[in-house]
Amino acid sequence: MKLHKVTSQSIKEAALIIQNGGLVAFPTETVYGLGADALNPLAVARVFEVKERPNFDPLIVHISSLADIERLCLKIDKMARTLMKHFWPGPLTLVLPKSSLVPDIVTAGLPTVAVRMPSHPVASELIKAAGTPVAAPSANLFSRLSPTTAKHVKEQLGDKIDLILDGGRSPIGVESTVILLASGKAHLLRPGGLSLEDIENVIGAVKIQIPKSLSPLSPGQLPRHYSPRTPIRFLPPGKIEFEKGKKVGLLAFTPLKAKMPCEVVEILSPEGDIVEAAANLFPCLHRLDKAGLDIIYAESVPKIGLGRAIMDRLYKAVGDSRSE
Ligand code: AMP
Ligand code: MG
């Protein structure tokens, strides 16, 4: 595996690897993605293999121009076009009926495909240079913590992939918001880097409960996901007694008001800023996971703006099947 800083040369090399069916990890504004040519079923199969991802779990296809979506999707309704106009490029994934160009392995056999146009300049340049849509889940092992730096990718996928492009830290730090568009209505499949409030300001109410008929299996809906290897629980309200002799770590939203008997404390946002907290979520969890702790306690954050995505990831990390 090679690890290169982003330069125009390394982007060219990465594009060539993708064209030849290889795998490249690259920065996006949400988290690092593990990219393969979305139109090459063998390359996509390698993504599933390397991530140890179950093949019922569909991938997001990344594009760099609006022309691409016309090739990938069949019915792009008015609401989809409105969302694309307002929020692309950016941390919003749209699920739409797929065209026959999209291999079944990408969508796990579903008749729909998830598409996103990232705003990160490196992601955008790489997709353009590759000249093909790029299927890219997060560049981590299935169900583990998502990577927001090249180092996180190296630790989990190391020699199993062809190249890591190091473009610094992913600025948003949580995955994209996934919206399914069906029968002229929008359904939230996964809260993420674009807040529900921002989306609803543009298209009105979004459905939070997904009807069973529209509910394909997806990682965002699996009960345990985004998990550290260290056991993690929510911090119960009120005064708590930690078990004697256990090494405890705490993931706090803001600085602690009272001292706690913890080995390590990670603060998501010194000022209580929810956007900063989202950007720090995975880096803090990676550090806690490496600290040799017996247990991690996580404090809840307010479910406003990106707080909804943070709480979703924490519910999944503790294995709580709630999504709201
Ligand atoms: P990630 O592992 O971060 O790439 O997550 C992919 C997300 O995309 C999942 O949470 C799914 O909800 C969603 N997804 C991808 N393709 C589809 C699809 N065809 N239908 C519904 N959800 C999808
Ligand atoms: Mg993922």
Q: What is the pLDDT of residues 42-92, one digit of tens each?
A: 999 999 999 999 888 999 999 999 999 999 999 899 999 999 999 999 999
Domain edge (last residue) among 203, 220, 250: 203
Report the number of distinct structural domains present in the chain.
Answer: 2
Whole-number Å distance, alpha carbon 187 to ligand 1 midpoint, is 13
The two structure tokens encoding residue 74: 């069949």
Examine the pLDDT at 323 and tell me if it is beyond 90.
no
**pLDDT band, very low/low/confident/very high, at 315 (cuts 50, 70, 90):** very high
- Indicate whether 287 belongs to any domain: yes
Residues 69 and 16 in one domain: yes
Q: Look at the chain and count its residues.
A: 324
Can you give the residue range of the structural domain that contains 261? 232-318
Q: Quick one: average pLDDT of 30-39?
A: 98
- Indicate whether 223 belongs to any domain: no
Residues 165 and 111 in one domain: yes
At residue 294, what is the residue type?
D
3-state DSSP of 70-90? HHHECCCCHHHHHHHHHHCCC
- Indicate whether 324 belongs to any domain: no
Residues 314 and 252 in one domain: yes
Residues 69 and 141 in one domain: yes
- Indicate whether 275 belongs to any domain: yes
Q: What is the DSSP code (8-state) at residue 159?
A: G
* CB of 220 sitting under 6 A from ligand 1: yes
Residues 199 and 253 in one domain: no
Residues 54 and 145 in one domain: yes
* CB of 323 sitting under 6 A from ligand 1: no
Q: What is the pLDDT of residue 1?
A: 82
- Indicate whether 209 belongs to any domain: no
Residues 244 and 184 in one domain: no
Which ligand is nearest the CA of 176, by number?
1
- Indicate whether 323 belongs to any domain: no
- CATH number of the domain enclosing 255: 3.40.50.11030
Residues 125 and 267 in one domain: no
Taking 3-state DSSP, the helix, strand and coil percentages for the chain, each rounded to the nearest 5, stand at 35, 20, 45
Greater confidence, 259 or 20? 20
Which ligand is nearest the CA of 181, by number?
1
Pocket test for ligand 1, best of 44, 60, 157, 217 (most atoms within 8 A of CB): 60
Residues 263 and 155 in one domain: no
- Cα 288 from Cα 228, distance rounded (Å): 8
* CB of 174 sitting under 6 A from ligand 1: no
Residues 175 and 240 in one domain: no
- Indicate whether 53 belongs to any domain: yes
- CATH number of the domain enclosing 197: 3.90.870.10
Pocket test for ligand 1, best of 190, 213, 215, 225 (most atoms within 8 A of CB): 190
**Which ligand 1 atom minimizes the distance to the CA of 110?**
19
Examine the pLDDT at 214 and tell me if it is beyond 70.
no
pLDDT in tens, 99-149: 999 999 999 999 999 999 999 999 999 999 999 999 999 999 999 999 999
- Indicate whether 216 belongs to any domain: no
Q: What is the pLDDT of residue 217?
A: 47
Residues 194 and 293 in one domain: no
Whole-number Å distance, alpha carbon 256 to ligand 1 midpoint, is 36
The pTM is what?
0.92
Residues 237 and 198 in one domain: no
